Structure 1
Amino acid sequence: MEILIKLSQFLLSLSLLIILHELGHFIPAKLFKTRVEKFYLFFDIKFSLLKKQIGETVYGIGWLPLGGYVKISGMIDESMDTEQMALPPQPWEFRSKPAWQRLIIMLGGVTVNFILAFIIYIGMAYAYGDMYIKNSEAKDGIWVTNPVLEKAGIHTGDKIIAVDGRKIEHFHDLSEAIIMGKNVEVERNGSMQTVALPDNFIANVLDQDKKSTVELRIPFVISDVSGTSANKEALKSKDIVTSLNNQPLHYADEMESRLNALKGQTVPATVKRDGKEVAISLKVSDSGKLGIQYPNRLPVDNLEKLGIYKISREEYGFFESIPVGLERGADQLAKYGRQLKAIFSPKTGAYKGVGGFKAIFDIFPESWSWEMFWSITALLSIMLGVMNLLPIPALDGGHVMFLLYEMISGRKPSDKFLERAQMVGIFLLLALLLFANGNDIYKWITK
């Protein structure tokens, strides 16, 4: 059932983005009286799942869910319709229109993508508001959950103040900021230090199964007790260990070093159970284990109830949500720009994180959440818009590049040149598609 929910969200989001992107080309084409021969969701190689002609346009759904397209008359695109291009230009064709009209038609798709993302962020601000934990709430610092970060010089208990000179206000922004950062300012034992992250830090993080770098420090909560554990009578699921060997235990990250010092011993402990403090004895094995599963990650609202962290909540009226949504969209756009910059810089190793359709599928939750759905869709819309603006022939950005050249120089590239450029672009896109999805397959095999 979970996989069907994920698949439904994935296909709905993908379909919505494709249709609206192609509408961004379709509408200005029709406004400028340019003939649109096809409007397709997904690709119809050899056959269509569904099609219907209305007026001069065939609308349909293809069987290959790798995107969609509009086929505009007199335009050199992925259809490579050289026969049409060999005929004299017709007034309804793309190539017969002024350069400024062709530019608007080509920019229509990415414009819709960006507008859609900002509208979604505005709507989410209005509908859901904000719920977050301030970075300043981590009074005892962060929990380093990735050994790569520890090796780089950032340790559990450090307070992260800023990354690359930018102060981090919300705790949930920390992990991504660190992964994409170069210099991290930390407060350690009351003094300020700057930790320089290595150039290949992103690659090192990606090489680990665990992609997060830091988490909130949480209490040691029992998830489950093994039936063979020597502590099966003493401990119960959801117990919170608050002291060990007469020493207070505040956080789960303190437990391992405590147990290593108590190997083979039976020690007093205190647990919080059903809101009451209960004294027990725990047997530590010779290997420093209690025979329990790894501590539970408590829901954020539970951490607030325990008095560990305060959750900040903000609600916005309709007009208040507009600047909030615009700021959120601009922030996501800037973040994705930094990610692309890292991907195209080989020394960072960020290219290892490039994923295909499986990677996109995996980010959708297993239970239906409209908030998560719209959040992911907005991010994907930004990604689609930015990727389509890359100056690669066969992408919108490639067409825009040649149109700008024509408008500046006054000379139009020949159809033969554009056909060859389109072929090069298609080859590059296929190579990128194979690389991204090959990355997914490699990660799945080596997982």
Structure 2
Amino acid sequence: MESLLEGLVMAAQLILALSILVGVHEFGHLIAARLFGMRVEQYSIGFPPKIFGFKVGQTEYSLGAIPLGGFVKISGMIDESLDTEGLSEEPKPWEFRSKPAWQRLIVMMGGIIVNVITGILIFVFMTYVNGVSYFPKEEVNKNGIMAYELAQEIGLKTGDKIIKLNGHDYENFSDLRSAEAIFADNGYYTVERNGEIIDIPIPGDLVEKLSEKNVKFIEPLFPFNVNQVAPGSGADKGGLKAGDQILSIAGEPVSFFQELKPILEQYKGQTIDVNVLRDGSSLTLPIKVDVDATLGFSSEMLLASKHQDYTFMQAIPEGVDMAFETVWANAKGLGKIFSGEVSASKSISSPIGIAQMYGGTWDWNRFWYLTGVISMILAFMNFLPIPALDGGHVMFLTYEMISGRAPSDKFLEVAQKAGMVILLSIMVFAIGNDLFKNLF
């Protein structure tokens, strides 16, 4: 029942996000078309069958039952509807095809432009409302990093202090997993290890491995104290109290939170000695380890974070940077797929994979962050020169403006069909890939 509820929450978040983004994208086309006197016959969020609709003036506004896209039907334009009826007649003044190429180009760019604006606004407002919290480099390097299996594969070790990224200083620990780190050509970490300075190359396929489900890479080593003890737990019955500092478990020294689980995994269901420091005195407590390898307490992490608040004007350049970093990362990622450094099966997600990113609980911060990311990705992907995407129309219109000759309606119709086959093939591949990853 719980997994069903989580699935419904994932689906609801995805549908809401896509409805917002598709709605503003198609609205961008509609506004631009209206600006140049073109007739817009239909504006739809979602694909047919139609759930409901209403007509205002010459435009029908509708909601489709398949919430994976939408469309605007502009008179005299060959689009995904492949409606060519009436194209054999002379162009009417209100038709798309009767307008100058530069006006048609702006109409086709309208959706992309509005998606970019939407993404930027989301990041700007999130930065303004929430500010930015992070672990600064100096604080993390008091103890170094926890290097999980993937980090160890590339040469990092637990306790390493990362002092530079690609030869440059950094401030925010999250920079070490940013697009600048994992997409850089010939990128590397500079680490201090036992007093020695070492460069660790960042392999080109790191982004592929990071995309795998539940993979861990690096995180700060967290010193900790006991925060709250669960009533009736092994920790409670054994006498553990809030504020205790755990020194050792079953004789094994413990300094950081990440060391707890590997030790406790060895003693599931057993009663072990836990040595703690309390009010300056050392105590040894007999505590039973639960079957899920926990003692029954929450931790207070003793690593200081920084928080930066922004005025609205300060949030604008920060939001713009965040938005376009998403575009840059996707462009680099696409380049790695085409170069063969990264496999498409590890990098392309369908709506199933995107829904899983939203998660089974409704978190508005996460919702708006992911929606901002997706808005920028939609703008980037739509700009690709593939027929049936806006970028395909832009490509043909640019050719017309440069050459002075417009492609024939027949050519555009065939190109549109070919583009739709390409897009449907990619979608089928992505859905099949996500289903395979979840089932196996």
TM-score interval, smaller chain:
0.7 to 0.9
| Equivalent of residue 220 in structure 2, options 216, 221, 239 | 216
Distance change in 2, residues 1:76/1:279 (3 Å): same
Task: Report the TM-score, using the length of structure 1 for normalisation.
Answer: 0.84
Please tell me whether the aligned partners of residues 221 and 296 of structure 1 are also in contact (alpha carbons under 8 angstroms).
no
Q: Secondary structure at the match of 2:78?
A: coil
Q: How many aligned residue pairs are there? A: 427
Which amino acid is the alignment partner of residue 119 of structure 1? Answer: L
Please tell me whether the aligned partners of residues 175 and 212 of structure 1 are also in contact (alpha carbons under 8 angstroms).
no
Distance change in 2, residues 1:37/1:248 (3 Å): same
| Equivalent of residue 377 in structure 1, options 363, 371, 375 | 371
Question: Which residue pairs with 2:163 in the alignment?
Answer: 161
Please tell me whether the aligned partners of residues 54 and 62 of structure 2 are also in contact (alpha carbons under 8 angstroms).
yes
Q: CA deviation at 1:266?
A: 9.8
Q: CA deviation at 1:364?
A: 1.7
Please tell me whether the aligned partners of residues 282 and 290 of structure 1 are also in contact (alpha carbons under 8 angstroms).
no
Q: Secondary structure at the match of 1:391?
A: coil
Distance in 2, matches of 1:295 and 1:324, equals 42
> How big is each residue's C-alpha offset from its partner over 1:60-97, in whole Å with a ceiling of 9 and x where there is no partner?
01111110000111111111112232332221111110
| Residue 243 in structure 1 maps to residue 268 in structure 2 | no
| Residue 293 in structure 1 maps to residue 293 in structure 2 | yes
Distance change in 2, residues 1:367/1:445 (3 Å): closer
Distance change in 2, residues 1:408/1:258 (3 Å): same
| Residue 68 in structure 1 maps to residue 62 in structure 2 | no
Q: CA deviation at 1:424?
A: 1.1
Distance change in 2, residues 1:309/1:60 (3 Å): same
Which amino acid is the alignment partner of residue 335 of structure 1? Answer: A
Please tell me whether the aligned partners of residues 131 and 314 of structure 1 are also in contact (alpha carbons under 8 angstroms).
yes
Which amino acid is the alignment partner of residue 42 of structure 1? Answer: G
Q: CA deviation at 1:270?
A: 1.9
Question: Which residue pairs with 1:140 in the alignment?
Answer: 143
Q: CA deviation at 1:36?
A: 0.8
Please tell me whether the aligned partners of residues 42 and 62 of structure 1 are also in contact (alpha carbons under 8 angstroms).
yes
Distance in 1, matches of 2:361 and 2:220, equals 24
| Equivalent of residue 339 in structure 1, options 329, 333, 342 | 333
Distance change in 2, residues 1:54/1:258 (3 Å): closer
| Equivalent of residue 57 in structure 1, options 56, 59, 63 | 59
Please tell me whether the aligned partners of residues 234 and 280 of structure 1 are also in contact (alpha carbons under 8 angstroms).
no
Q: CA deviation at 1:255?
A: 5.5
Distance change in 2, residues 1:39/1:131 (3 Å): same
Distance in 1, matches of 2:297 and 2:283, equals 23
| Residue 416 in structure 1 maps to residue 410 in structure 2 | yes
> How big is each residue's C-alpha offset from its partner over 1:86-141, in whole Å with a ceiling of 9 and x where there is no partner?
33222111111000000000000010011111112221222111211113311211
Question: Which residue pairs with 2:40 in the alignment?
Answer: 36
Q: CA deviation at 1:236?
A: 5.7
Distance in 2, matches of 1:337 and 1:421, equals 24
Which amino acid is the alignment partner of residue 49 of structure 1? Answer: I
Distance change in 2, residues 1:281/1:206 (3 Å): same
Which amino acid is the alignment partner of residue 61 of structure 1? Answer: L
Task: Provide structure 2 residue ranges, at least 5 long, that are not aligned to the other structure.
Answer: none
Distance change in 2, residues 1:34/1:332 (3 Å): same
1:84-163 matches, cutoff 5 A: 84-138=86-140, 139-145=142-148, 147-163=149-165
Q: CA deviation at 1:419?
A: 1.1
Q: CA deviation at 1:344?
A: 3.0
Over the matched positions of the two proteins, sequence identity in percent amounts to 38
Q: CA deviation at 1:224?
A: 10
| Equivalent of residue 196 in structure 1, options 188, 201, 207 | 201
Q: Which moved more, 1:157-166 or 1:427-436?
A: 157-166
Q: Secondary structure at the match of 2:192?
A: strand
| Residue 319 in structure 1 maps to residue 313 in structure 2 | yes
Q: Which moved more, 1:98-107 or 1:162-171?
A: 162-171
Distance in 2, matches of 1:400 and 1:64, equals 27
Distance in 2, matches of 1:40 and 1:381, equals 18
> How big is each residue's C-alpha offset from its partner over 1:138-161, in whole Å with a ceiling of 9 and x where there is no partner?
12111122x222122111111223
Distance change in 2, residues 1:162/1:333 (3 Å): farther
Distance in 1, matches of 2:341 and 2:297, equals 35
Which amino acid is the alignment partner of residue 189 of structure 2? Answer: V
| Equivalent of residue 433 in structure 1, options 422, 427, 437 | 427
Q: CA deviation at 1:173?
A: 3.2
| Equivalent of residue 14 in structure 1, options 8, 18, 21 | 18
Q: CA deviation at 1:165?
A: 3.6
Question: Which residue pairs with 1:48 in the alignment?
Answer: 50
Which amino acid is the alignment partner of residue 392 of structure 1? Answer: I
Please tell me whether the aligned partners of residues 228 and 291 of structure 1 are also in contact (alpha carbons under 8 angstroms).
no
Task: Provide structure 1 residue ranges, at least 5 long, that are not aligned to the other structure.
Answer: none
| Equivalent of residue 28 in structure 2, options 24, 28, 31 | 24
Q: Secondary structure at the match of 1:348?
A: coil
Q: Secondary structure at the match of 2:191?
A: strand
Distance change in 2, residues 1:79/1:441 (3 Å): same
Q: CA deviation at 1:422?
A: 0.8
Distance in 2, matches of 1:235 and 1:440, equals 47
Q: Which moved more, 1:34-43 or 1:241-250?
A: 241-250
Which amino acid is the alignment partner of residue 85 of structure 1? Answer: L
Distance in 2, matches of 1:200 and 1:323, equals 31
Please tell me whether the aligned partners of residues 240 and 285 of structure 2 are also in contact (alpha carbons under 8 angstroms).
no
Q: CA deviation at 1:188?
A: 1.5
Which amino acid is the alignment partner of residue 114 of structure 2? Answer: V
Please tell me whether the aligned partners of residues 218 and 297 of structure 1 are also in contact (alpha carbons under 8 angstroms).
no
> How big is each residue's C-alpha offset from its partner over 1:174-203, in whole Å with a ceiling of 9 and x where there is no partner?
234554454222222222211223443344
> How big is each residue's C-alpha offset from its partner over 1:242-269, in whole Å with a ceiling of 9 and x where there is no partner?
235777521144468879999xx99864
> How big is each residue's C-alpha offset from its partner over 1:349-396, in whole Å with a ceiling of 9 and x where there is no partner?
364131111111112244433322221111111011001001111000
Please tell me whether the aligned partners of residues 188 and 201 of structure 2 are also in contact (alpha carbons under 8 angstroms).
yes
Please tell me whether the aligned partners of residues 202 and 349 of structure 1 are also in contact (alpha carbons under 8 angstroms).
no
Task: Report the TM-score, using the length of structure 2 for normalisation.
Answer: 0.85
Distance in 1, matches of 2:309 and 2:389, equals 40
